[in-house]
Amino acid sequence: MIDPFLVLATRVVEVEDGGLASYHGDYEYYLAKKGEIPQPSGQPSAASARAIHESPLQPLTQNSKLETQNLSKEERLRSREEEKQRQKEERQRQKRLAELERAIEVEEGRLAELEGRMADPAFFADREAARIAGEEHVLLSARIAGLYEEWETIHGE
């Protein structure tokens, strides 16, 4: 069994019983079409939404190759555009992840600096400054938690 997390496929070609079947989509889409992954009723998977076309092929002959080339020109162009869009979205996702990582680093630095000041027993001699620092600690901690939550959400996509 191939681990689907290690495969980045845009097309799966199955060779079986002397024939070919082409599934334009990722490995998850292929498994769904083969009936190995049950699909929730009324809810197409993200893989099937991305799928361009599925067509079982007979053993390739010169004529079928020409027909496939002629019939799939529009399909190839559409596929190329969809792939460009996916790549653009992936670049945007990676950019946002990097921004979040930088923001987390900055906020954690601020929190560490604040905790360093708060570690000094003399820090709490000024009750008002200690109260303000405590509130700042709560705000920084919440902000960091929010950044991590967003990072995990985006990273999991």
pLDDT tens, position by position, 7-44 = 455 677 778 777 777 777 777 777 877 776 554 444 44
Q: pLDDT value at position 69?
A: 55
pLDDT at 52 over 50: no
In 3D space, the residue among 19, 15, 47 whose CA is nearest the CA of residue 33 turns out to be: 47
Could you tell me how many residues make up the chain?
157
Q: pLDDT value at position 98?
A: 94
Q: Give dist(CA 116, CA 60) in Å, integer.
A: 71
**Chain segment 89-140, per-residue pLDDT in tens:** 999 999 999 999 999 999 999 999 999 999 998 998 999 999 999 999 999 9
Output the CA angle 121-127-131, nearest 5 degrees.
100
Label residue 66 by pLDDT band (50, 70, 90).
low
Q: Give dist(CA 8, CA 1) in Å, integer.
A: 15
In 3D space, the residue among 54, 59, 53 whose CA is nearest the CA of residue 20 turns out to be: 59
Label residue 141 by pLDDT band (50, 70, 90).
very high
122: amino acid identity, one letter: A
pLDDT at 46 over 50: no
Q: pLDDT value at position 51?
A: 42
In 3D space, the residue among 22, 17, 19, 20 whose CA is nearest the CA of residue 9 turns out to be: 22
Q: Give dist(CA 122, CA 125) in Å, integer.
A: 5
Label residue 65 by pLDDT band (50, 70, 90).
low
